[in-house]
Amino acid sequence: MNWVTKMFSSSIGQKFIMALTGLFLCSFLVIHMVGNLQLFKADDGLAFNTYAVFMTTFPVIKFVSYVLYASIIFHAIKGLMLVSKNNKARPVKYAVQNGAANSHWTSRSMGILGTLVLVFIVIHMKNFWFEYKFGHEVGYTSYFTNIATGETGSRAMEAEYKQHNKIEETMVSSPDGQQYKIVVVKDLYKEVATEFKEWWLVALYVLCMFAVAFHLYHGFQSAFQTLGINHSKYNGLIKFIGIWVFSVLIPAGFAAMPIFFFFK
Amino acid sequence: MENNLNLNLKVWRQKNAKDKGGFEEYKLSEISTDMSFLEMFDVLNERLIVEGKDPVAFDHDCREGICGACSMFINGRPHGPKQAVTTCQLHMRSFKDGETIVVEPWRAEPFPVIKDLVVDRSAFDRIMSAGGFVSINTGNAQDANAIPISKENADEAFAAAACIGCGACVAACKNASAMLFVSAKVSQFALLPQGQPERSARVMEMVAQMDNEGFGACTNTGACSAECPKEISLTHIARMNRDYLMAELTSNK
């Protein structure tokens, strides 16, 4: 057996894969959060839609997004395989097992929490990624800015409207001599706003963010331990980031988005 | 005696490795709170012998918490409800009068039940023979301070070497993982100069044997360390992960 295969098929090696892909997915969450904060901007979605075009067309980002999809699939499959392997290590279960006495419930529920997150990712990709890329629901919106006064406005294009690029920018002069910048862009923002008017979808998203929160409450810290990073000088910081950033701030931020659009 | 306990024991009875096994209930009365948990089992066994029944088989040896032989899973926890004790050092004062106590053997694929509460832990021995040693010529004892070792490393190595190999880590782990045991045995040598020549080979061989035996993978729940009678720290697992990664990446094997 080749040494690379041997390393990654050992129990510790498999955990390295889980830790590395897991931390990469955590780094993605930060980017996703920061980008999506533009949903809260009161500009009818111009900034968010422009950002969506950049994220889906810029070659480097496109490449990283394929690495991301691969990581999600790998992390999920490897995780489920490990759950099944670990179950086989104890074929006869205990009649009484007091897990709460020695460990946190999140650490004992990573398989089920991860499965919930995976189901969420599938629903989420269908709602937005698939619709944006292949669906017919997402239309175009035209945003205009008066260059002199800074006055802005927007108007949805007709349902049949098509253009070659996801975003097209033109400068026009009105009959009274005013200069306008016109941006016609695929309106993912409107899709988000419309979808989140459904109460059950909002509820589902918020519940799934709890699964993300609890998965990362254990997962972020655990990844460092797996990679051998356990040192009294850094453990406090890792624990702090794992709990406050990845299991509170980020899930709360994501949960705020559907709630914001529901009540908007 | 007013402090004596009346107990309801539910004990796993299994004739041999092939038997399906099941729980058997025993009522015990007038159990002194000063007895150890194993002495309570001695009382039960003497009664069973008098009644002409098969006494409960359980592992025990030193009865002072250092040999690692005793191995009972008591009320859902290895070595019972107290921290940092083995079953032999657990006293009946830790239980309430009238309490039902459920006693099971360690449960893990690599620890098959031999009889009743006795499991075969020779998987640990095979992991040790795969690399848990240093190859040095013996002879006259060296001068005590011939090899300088920092106090910190000596203490840390000693803390790892405190592992008695009882298997409570495996029993407590939801994945029946042996990482705490193996990491303690890897660490006690990795921290000392004498362990350096075989450091890479040791961690690779011991991890390979651990996987061969069928123990689960570590999910860092920390249950092992919380239940360890010698309070072996999770830092040893991190050290083993680090050593394993470095060994695979840089050794010639």
Q: What is the pLDDT of residues A55-94, one digit of tens each?
A: 999 999 999 999 999 999 999 999 999 999 999 999 999 9
Cα separation, B47 vs B51, in Å, equals 6
- Residue B101: phi and psi, rounded to 5, are -115, 120
Chain B residues touching A13 at Cβ < 8 A: 244, 248
Q: Are residues A62 and A171 in the same domain?
A: no
Q: What is the pLDDT of residue A212?
A: 98
Cα separation, B24 vs B31, in Å, equals 19
Q: What is the pLDDT of residue A175?
A: 87
pLDDT, one tens digit per residue, over A116-149 is 999 999 999 999 999 999 988 899 999 999 988 8
Number of CB atoms found within 10 A of residue A199's CB: 10
Q: Cβ separation of A103 and B222 shorter than 8 Å?
A: yes
Q: Which part of chain B has CATH 3.10.20.30?
A: 5-104
Q: Which CATH class is domain B5-104?
A: alpha beta
Residues 173-202 of chain B with CB under 8 A from chain A are 174-177
Q: Check if the beta carbon of residue B169 is closer than 8 Å to that of residue B241.
A: no
Q: Are residues A22 and A79 in the same domain?
A: yes
Instruction: Indicate the residue type of B176.
Output: A
Q: Cβ separation of B248 and A218 shorter than 8 Å?
A: no
pLDDT band at A209 (very low <50, low <70, confident <90, very high): very high
Q: Are residues A10 and A44 in the same domain?
A: yes
Judge whether residue A151 has pLDDT over 60: yes
A13 in contact with B, Cβ within 8 Å: yes
Q: Are residues A109 and A13 in the same domain?
A: yes
Q: Cβ separation of B218 and A88 shorter than 8 Å?
A: no
Residues 77-136 of chain B with CB under 8 A from chain A are 77, 81, 102, 104, 107-110
pLDDT, one tens digit per residue, over A30-50 is 999 999 999 999 999 999 999
Buried b (16+ CB within 10 A) or exposed e, B40-66: bbeebbeeeeeeeeeebbbbbeebebe
Number of CB atoms found within 10 A of residue B240's CB: 27
Q: Are residues A48 and A116 in the same domain?
A: yes
What six digits make up the tokens of A6? 């041997």
Q: What is the pLDDT of residue B2?
A: 62
Mean per-residue pLDDT over chain A, rounded = 95
Q: Are residues A116 and A208 in the same domain?
A: yes
Question: How close A31 comes to chain B (CA, Å)?
Answer: 27
Given B73, B218, B235, which is nearest A15 (Cβ)? Answer: B218
**pTM for this prediction:** 0.94
Closest CA to A145 of A171, A177, A175: A171
Q: Which domain holds residue A166?
A: 140-186
Given A92, A98, A107, which is nearest B77 (Cβ)? Answer: A98
- Residue B25: phi and psi, rounded to 5, are -100, 140
A91 in contact with B, Cβ within 8 Å: yes
Query: How far apart are the two ends of chain B, measured CA to CA in Å?
Result: 66
C-alpha to C-alpha distances, B203 to A124, B119, B167, B185, B252, nearest whole angstrom: 43, 26, 19, 9, 14
Q: Cβ separation of A107 and B175 shorter than 8 Å?
A: no
Given B217, B237, B248, which is nearest A7 (Cβ)? Answer: B248
Q: Which part of chain B has CATH 1.10.1060.10?
A: 121-134+150-250
Chain A residues touching B241 at Cβ < 8 A: 12, 15-16, 225-228
Chain A residues touching B218 at Cβ < 8 A: 11-12, 15, 226
Q: What is the pLDDT of residue A136?
A: 83
Q: Write out residues in chain B with pLDDT < 70, as ranges.
A: 1-2
Q: Are residues A212 and A172 in the same domain?
A: no
* Fold observed for domain B121-134+150-250: Fumarate Reductase Iron-sulfur Protein; Chain B, domain 2 (1.10.1060)
Q: Which residues contact B117 (CB under 8 A, 6 or more apart)?
A: B11, B12, B56, B57, B58, B59, B71, B72, B103, B104, B105
Chain B residues touching A85 at Cβ < 8 A: 216-217
Judge whether residue A11 has pLDDT over 80: yes
Name the DSSP class of B245. Answer: H
Chain A residues touching B223 at Cβ < 8 A: 99, 102-103
A11 in contact with B, Cβ within 8 Å: yes
Chain B residues touching A3 at Cβ < 8 A: 248, 253
Q: Are residues A51 and A9 in the same domain?
A: yes
Q: Check if the beta carbon of residue A118 is closer than 8 Å to that of residue A76.
A: yes
Taken in order B226, B122, B209, B217, the sign of the CA dihedral is negative
Q: Are residues A110 and A223 in the same domain?
A: yes
Q: Are residues A12 and A120 in the same domain?
A: yes
Alpha helices in B87-150 (DSSP H): 122-131
Q: What is the pLDDT of residue B1?
A: 52
B75 in contact with A, Cβ within 8 Å: yes
Mean per-residue pLDDT over chain B, rounded = 96
Return the SS3 of A118: helix
Chains A, B: CB pairs < 8 Å: 138
What six digits make up the tokens of A20? 């590395």
Chain A residues touching B208 at Cβ < 8 A: 10
Chain B residues touching A234 at Cβ < 8 A: none
Number of CB atoms found within 10 A of residue B154's CB: 12
Cα separation, A33 vs A253, in Å, equals 7
Chain B residues touching A90 at Cβ < 8 A: 107-109, 174-176, 216
B234 in contact with A, Cβ within 8 Å: yes
Q: What is the pLDDT of residue B41?
A: 98
Domain count, chain A: 2
